Structure 1
């Protein structure tokens, strides 16, 4: 059970990073490192993480459809941690 949650958590983190990368690749003019640095300087890193978390929604429902509920819980945990990071980065 714990192994499945950890797998889901890691998949959630990877999906969030992949979502951030895809957003930067398709919609921004800079490379990944420069975009992250500019987002930190402009205090918009939370926005970038939030846009990356959209990919977690797809992974979450994919796990639900496959009836892998513990992995879905791990993805949900990764999303909650990303949301808390966004909340704390705003203050």
Structure 2
């Protein structure tokens, strides 16, 4: 049961990050489509910043799970948020 809740939290964290990235790319893309914004961000070197901004929705999911006392799901969201932070750090180095 605990592993299942952590896995659900990880999935929610990934989905929240993907939706957040889509929202950020749409809002900051000035009318361009998603793939164009992502390609331009990768070319100009700020893709890691877009991914980090997309992770803001993980904060919302985390606090919803905490408020509902679903600690293991919140732990899964926290794990994926830490993974995204490490990924963007490594991505920025290379």
In 2, Cα distance between equivalents of 1:24 and 1:49? 9
Question: What count of residue pairs does the alignment treat as equivalent?
Answer: 91
Residue 16 of structure 1 aligns with which residue?
Answer: 17
Distance apart, 1:26 and its partner CA: 2.1
Question: Pairwise CA RMSD of aligned residues?
Answer: 0.8
Residue 45 of structure 1 aligns with which residue?
Answer: 47
Matches within 5 A, 1:44-83: 44-83=46-85
TM-score, normalised by the number of residues in structure 1: 0.95
Residue 33 of structure 2 aligns with which residue?
Answer: 31
Structure 1: gaps spanning 5 or more residues: none
TM-score, normalised by the number of residues in structure 2: 0.93
